[in-house]
């Protein structure tokens, strides 16, 4: 049977017993037609999952018992952070959703020179993240960070391996195999590409710069393909 995932707040767990929030209870009762004795998986968003059994359905409140706690359920051994230019319209929502499914630990929107969109609705983004995390079975819900300027982000980021996807890239993703780092930044430009000054600034952090092919890709396409490729090679590295 396919696993069914629900968000759980740690305050709703006491002595191996739990109660779902009303919104999650409504989903279980009305959308899934859940019943007593059904098995579900609870996700706390902080790296813990709980294999659980429903023992009570009281009108609009669902509760049960926890049978097993699982740490880092559905998570990679690596920290992958997406650093991406602000994109207008629903495509930013899609990036947030797919980046969550692909296992990122955080999403850092950057206001590049050629970005048109200047703000992001953090609450909306967090709802998208939670929905995608439940769909994909992740126990950790990625952080959506406030919009930052490129120079500010660089000044605060000095540890991770930086992977820049750009049409002028000449490095290879296998180059990440030569180090023992556990944290990676995947950097994706805005709709209008990086400016020359931004490329010069990025060059200072000595990124692994990778070309995804001869065609100019949309930012969301680059993000999805880039993250998927990185996941694959990291799994190969530690397979």
Average model confidence (pLDDT) for the chain?
Answer: 91
Q: Where are the beta strands (DSSP E) in 86-200?
A: 106-110, 143-144, 161-165, 183-188
Q: Tokens 């982000």 sit at which residue?
A: 153
Domains and CATH numbers, the chain: 5-71 (2.40.240.20), 79-237 (3.40.1280.10)
| Among the listed residues 226, 209, 190, 239, the one whose alpha carbon sits nearest the alpha carbon of residue 84 | 190
Enumerate residues 6+ apart whose C-beta is below 8 A from 175. Answer: 208
Query: Looking at residue 182, what is its pLDDT?
Result: 83
Query: Looking at residue 178, what is its pLDDT?
Result: 64
Longest dimension (CA), the chain: 61
User: What is the β-pairing status of strands 48-58 and 39-43?
Assistant: antiparallel
Q: Where are the beta strands (DSSP E) in the chain?
A: 5-7, 13-14, 17-19, 39-43, 48-58, 61-71, 79-85, 106-110, 143-144, 161-165, 183-188, 208-210
For range 61-80, the mean pLDDT: 95
9/177 Cα distance (integer angstroms): 38
First and final C-alpha spacing in the chain: 27
Tokens standing for 99? 């980046």
Q: Tell me phi and psi for residue 202, to 5 degrees.
A: -65, -30
Model confidence over 5-62: pLDDT tens digits? 999 999 999 999 999 999 999 999 999 999 999 999 999 999 999 999 999 999 889 9
Lowest mean per-residue pLDDT among 128-137, 140-149, 156-165, 207-216: 156-165
CA distances for 60 relative to 26, 54, 135, angstroms: 6, 13, 22
Which spans in 54-101 are helix H?
91-101
Enumerate residues 6+ apart whose C-beta is below 8 A from 183. Answer: 78, 79, 80, 81, 159, 160, 161
Tokens standing for 108? 């850092």
Beta bridge partners of 80: 184
Whether the predicted model's global pTM rises above the 0.85 cut: yes
Q: How confident is the model at residue 160 (pLDDT cuts 50, 70, 90)?
A: confident
Query: Looking at residue 1, what is its pLDDT?
Result: 47
């Amino acid at each position: 049977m396919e696993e069914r995932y629900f968000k759980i707040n740690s305050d709703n767990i006491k002595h191996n017993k739990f109660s779902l929030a009303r919104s999650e209870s409504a989903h279980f009762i009305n959308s899934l037609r859940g019943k007593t004795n059904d098995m579900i998986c609870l996700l706390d968003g902080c790296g813990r999952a709980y294999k659980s059994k429903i023992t009570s359905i009281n009108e609009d409140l669902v509760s049960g018992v926890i049978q097993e706690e699982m740490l880092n359920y559905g998570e990679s051994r690596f920290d992958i952070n997406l650093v991406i230019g602000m994109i207008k319209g629903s495509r930013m929502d899609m990036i947030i959703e797919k980046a969550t499914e692909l296992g990122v630990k955080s999403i850092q929107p950057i206001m590049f020179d050629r970005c048109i969109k200047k703000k992001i609705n953090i609450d909306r983004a967090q709802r998208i993240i939670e929905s995608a995390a439940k769909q994909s079975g992740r126990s950790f819900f990625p952080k959506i960070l406030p919009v930052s300027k490129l120079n500010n982000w660089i000044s605060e980021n000095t540890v991770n391996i930086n992977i820049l996807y750009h049409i002028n890239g000449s490095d290879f993703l296998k180059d990440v195999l030569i180090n023992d780092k556990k944290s990676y930044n995947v950097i994706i430009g805005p709709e209008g590409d990086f400016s020359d000054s931004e490329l010069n600034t990025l060059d200072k952090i000595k990124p692994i710069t990778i070309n995804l092919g001869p065609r100019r890709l949309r930012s969301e396409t680059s993000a999805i393909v880039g993250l998927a490729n990185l996941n694959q090679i990291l799994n190969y590295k530690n397979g």
